[in-house]
A and B are shown apart, each in its own frame.
Chain A
Amino acid sequence: MLGKTAGGLFWMFRYLERSENTARLIEAGQHIALTQPASFGDEWASVLKSAGSYASYVNHHGEDILHDRAIGWMLRSRDNPFSILNMAAAARENAKLVRTALTREVWEAVNENWLTLRDALARKVSERDLPDVLALIRQRSAYVRGALNGTMLRNEIYDFARIGTFLERADNTARILDVKYYVLLPSVVSVGTSIDNVQWQTILRSVSAEGGFHMTYGRDARPREIAQFLILDKRMPRSLSFCVHKLQENFYYLYTGSESHLLCHDLCDQLESHTTSRTIDEIFDSGLHEFITNFLQSLNKLGSQTEIDYRFHN
């Protein structure tokens, strides 16, 4: 397999994953904005931060975070490389580059994703249409995932697609935790207040995990349990542990298909043991914020090392 192709697959699936997550973040942000009007400005700032679009927003529009603008920036701005519209185009460009590695079904799903979103996001999306548009975005990425799962051979092509997906997903969940970690910290004063409840629900909502959480822990959200769920739960498909485990699995498949042991395999193993070897209490004791910062750094390093080891560029 060409190095370029591995790189194209990796990025194609990173874009698709991030685009879906951004839609989810906007949905959670819109929900809190509609139900808790007082917390408006702050909430959109943290949504932008979680989506990785805050710095570029401020650079472009200034410090003033306006509801409409923030949504437009993440949905369809041409100036934001991580707007959903730009990412749909970037995913398709990468898919074109690796067309020979994809089944017709996967290619058509990615192509249709772009064709559909290009039309849906051609004009400013009104508040009334927003829920439908966000649903459409998630539905389209579900089609791509379905085509991938249902039609692709489980070989190294699939491994690179999965590595891109789970690297991005782990990064996205970690960034949500990074932005919101303070509401999960034990604090005598605010535990059980409605503000916290809203914040906790938002975190769960932005990773589509409300239902799963309630199934596992019952109706009452407790910060420690939320952190446990998002960081350590091995059955929650967007938790850090789950993602890291999947990364390890796919790197292992790549490794067993070749003769050489590469540095990225070590980095992945380290990340895995660092993430899953501690209990949630130990993580809180040694500092939740430090834990997440370290996690993001290691993830980043793993990504760059993968690009080098598998010759994406040269």
Chain B
Amino acid sequence: MRFSVTSRLPAFPLADRMIDLKNNAQLFDEMWGHDSTLRDAYANFNNWLEVEEPARLRKKQTEAERLFRLSGITFNVYSKDDKEKETERLIPFDIIPRIISAREWSRLSTGIEQRVRAINAFLHDIYHRQEIVRSGRLPIELLTHNEAFLPKMIGVSPPGSVYTHIVGIDLIRTGPDEFFVLEDNARTPSGVSYMLENRATMLHMFPELFSQNRVQTVLNYPRQLYRSLAKCTPAQTDNQPTVAVLTPGTYNSAYYEHSFLADKMGVELVEGHDLRVVNGRVAMRTTRGYKAIDVLYRRVDDDFIDPLNFCSDSTLGVAGILDVYRAGGITIANAPGTGIADDKAIYSYMPEIIEFYTGEKPLLKNVPTWRCNEPESLSYVLENLADLVVKEVHGSGGYGMLIGPTSSKRELAHFRKKLKANPGKYIAQPMLSLSTVPTFTRAGLAPRHVDLRPFVLVSPRGVDITPGGLTRVALKKGSVVVNSSQGGGTKDTWVLED
């Protein structure tokens, strides 16, 4: 057993290193750095860890699962083969926290704020004058040939000019000061309930850790979310605005999160069939008749939100809501059409987008990206396929992607064919060595790769970033796929006070 919890973590064995053919860079562990020197942010935590009984920790790890099961924080898995089979699963939780120093966080959050402001300015621009296209910085095809671009939003100005009220920015790290944005989530980012439940569970199981470490709280998120949404009410009202959360229903995989957020905000959780348009307003059916909604935090995709305007067979939305929206009768959060900003083809233009709207250099780096629709890039990608990660432009959840370094020759050949047949469908990125954080495994603690999704709230008042976010961890040894649908777990994320 290499990583016993009682002894310090030694340098990582070669087998556990991530395959990094390109740079052969040293793996970076957030607790032990490049060279097994304990990093400052983890000093207090390590004192605690050193005297903890492994048996007690193992028990706590089991207890955590019971707590999660009880709270009902499960996600639904659709099983085609067997309807009787268990369809609710837990995302594994790892009790070892991921710790970020105040200094690191302050740099990160400044970069995130810059990026989110640029995204909102970009959205406003492309649905109005499209200056960025006129200036020649963005090819018009990226908008016109993009399903995420909604022509119905052209000329529409949402209250306070806020398009993305809630954003999740996916970050990866490769060194002490090296952070990259992997993806922007500008539609309906999920996972914030895990951020909150992870913290609540840690507070419950290890209260002593929180008296020994000064960890910035994340538990204000629901209140901030409510305030942020309430600030975006469509018309000036004296009354407290009526906010509601729209869910596709109890069978949706993120239903727990929808009900959790509505509950914590103290607002109604509605489904399409609870709503209808009454006197030019979107209203919900209460026991005493219909009541108008001012701000709707929708967790339903653009395509399904309005059967009159989009998908006509959808039962998840409200017929006519888009017309009410355009007339200023309701605020929809996030605004329809924001998906264009997190499109993987647009992603590769983010550095230009940030510079164009803020006049500043981007503080957070993009992962270098080859657009396979460009002939030069394509030939580079085809030549170096074994070293690259290739993703579908419109894919999500880690599906349909190729991880070159871990793929067989046959898989590579197969993918090469797909690339040639339809290059515009793909982008490629180098294989970065994602940082690791010690994680509980059967054999003790071992380094596992992580990413980070901080959650950002935007209102006319400004940008609010919750200190921390959701850390996803690839539980399989050597794996860099953190998606819960593919064996990923989560960790509590600490941002220390100064």
Q: Specify which chain A residues have a CB less than 8 angstroms from the CB of B288 in the assembled complex.
A: 258, 260
Q: Which of A23-31, A48-56, A105-113 binds B?
A: A105-113
Query: Is A93 an interface position by the 8 A CB rule?
Result: yes
Task: Let me know if A100 and B263 touch, CB within 8 A.
Answer: yes
Q: How far is the CA of A107 from the CA of B72 in the complex (A)?
A: 9
Q: Specify which chain A residues have a CB less than 8 angstroms from the CB of B286 in the assembled complex.
A: 1-3, 311
Task: Let me know if B285 and A93 touch, CB within 8 A.
Answer: no
Q: Which of B116-124, B265-273, B466-474 binds A?
A: B265-273
Q: A interface, by DSSP: helix, strand, loop or mixed?
A: helix
Tell me the nearest residue of chain A to B267, going by C-beta: A100
Partner of B287, one of A93, A108, A112, A311: A311
Residues in A1-55 with C-beta less than 8 Å from chain B: 1-6
Task: Let me know if A99 and B269 touch, CB within 8 A.
Answer: yes
Query: Is A233 an interface position by the 8 A CB rule?
Result: no
Task: Let me know if A1 and B287 touch, CB within 8 A.
Answer: yes
Q: Specify which chain B residues have a CB less than 8 angstroms from the CB of A112 in the assembled complex.
A: 70
Q: How far is the CA of A99 from the CA of B186 in the complex (A)?
A: 27
B28 to chain A, nearest CB (A): 39
Interface string of B75-111 (1 = CB under 8 A from A): 0000000001000000000000000000000000000
Interface string of B239-283 (1 = CB under 8 A from A): 000000000001000010001101100011111011000000000
Q: Specify which chain A residues have a CB less than 8 angstroms from the CB of B152 in the assembled complex.
A: none
Task: Let me know if B285 and A115 touch, CB within 8 A.
Answer: no
Q: How far is the CA of A108 from the CA of B227 in the complex (A)?
A: 28
Q: Specify which chain A residues have a CB less than 8 angstroms from the CB of B70 in the assembled complex.
A: 108, 111-112, 115
Task: Let me know if B285 and A4 touch, CB within 8 A.
Answer: yes
Query: Is B330 an interface position by the 8 A CB rule?
Result: no
Tell me the nearest residue of chain B to A101, going by C-beta: B263
A2 to chain B, nearest CB (A): 6
Q: Specify which chain A residues have a CB less than 8 angstroms from the CB of B273 in the assembled complex.
A: 4
Residues in B412-432 with C-beta less than 8 Å from chain A: none
Q: Specify which chain A residues have a CB less than 8 angstroms from the CB of B270 in the assembled complex.
A: 2
Residues in A265-298 with C-beta less than 8 Å from chain B: none
Task: Let me know if B250 and A97 touch, CB within 8 A.
Answer: yes
> Residues of A within 8 Å of B, CB-based: how many?
24
Partner of A314, one of B71, B262, B271, B285: B285
Total A-B Cβ pairs within 8 A = 56
Query: Is B225 an interface position by the 8 A CB rule?
Result: no
Partner of A99, one of B84, B259, B271, B284: B259
B138 to chain A, nearest CB (A): 42
Task: Let me know if A2 and B250 touch, CB within 8 A.
Answer: no
Q: Specify which chain B residues have a CB less than 8 angstroms from the CB of A213 in the assembled complex.
A: none
Q: Specify which chain B residues have a CB less than 8 angstroms from the CB of A115 in the assembled complex.
A: 69-70
Q: How far is the CA of A248 from the CA of B268 in the complex (A)?
A: 28
Tell me which of A93, A99, A104 has the highest count of chain B C-beta atoms within 10 A of its own C-beta: A99
Q: Specify which chain B residues have a CB less than 8 angstroms from the CB of A96 in the assembled complex.
A: 72, 250, 255, 259
Tell me the nearest residue of chain A to B270, going by C-beta: A2
Task: Let me know if B262 and A2 touch, CB within 8 A.
Answer: no
A296 to chain B, nearest CB (A): 26
Query: Is A210 an interface position by the 8 A CB rule?
Result: no
Partner of A2, one of B69, B72, B259, B285: B285
A6-B287, A96-B255, A311-B286 are known contacts. Are A108 and B274 too (CB-CB below 8 A)? no
Partner of B259, one of A1, A100, A108: A100
Q: How far is the CA of A311 from the CA of B285 in the complex (A)?
A: 7
Q: Specify which chain A residues have a CB less than 8 angstroms from the CB of B289 in the assembled complex.
A: 311
Residues in A199-222 with C-beta less than 8 Å from chain B: none
A2-B274, A97-B250, A107-B72 are known contacts. Are A156 and B287 too (CB-CB below 8 A)? yes
A310-B287, A311-B287 are known contacts. Are A100 and B274 too (CB-CB below 8 A)? no
B176 to chain A, nearest CB (A): 40
Q: How far is the CA of A93 from the CA of B255 in the complex (A)?
A: 12
A171 to chain B, nearest CB (A): 22
Tell me the nearest residue of chain B to A118, going by C-beta: B86
Task: Let me know if A3 and B274 touch, CB within 8 A.
Answer: yes
Q: How far is the CA of A10 from the CA of B240 in the complex (A)?
A: 29
Task: Let me know if B250 and A93 touch, CB within 8 A.
Answer: yes
Q: Specify which chain B residues have a CB less than 8 angstroms from the CB of A1 in the assembled complex.
A: 286-287
Interface string of A79-118 (1 = CB under 8 A from B): 0000000000000010011011000100110011001000
Beyond A2-B286, A108-B72, 11 additional pairs, beta carbon < 8 A: A1-B286, A2-B270, A4-B273, A5-B268, A93-B250, A99-B263, A108-B70, A111-B70, A112-B70, A258-B288, A311-B285
Interface residues of B (CB under 8 A from A): 69-72, 84, 250, 255, 259-260, 262-263, 267-271, 273-274, 284-289
Interface residues of A (CB under 8 A from B): 1-6, 78, 93, 96-97, 99-100, 104, 107-108, 111-112, 115, 156, 258, 260, 310-311, 314
Q: Closest 3 A-B residue pairs measured CB to CB? A: A99-B259, A100-B263, A310-B287
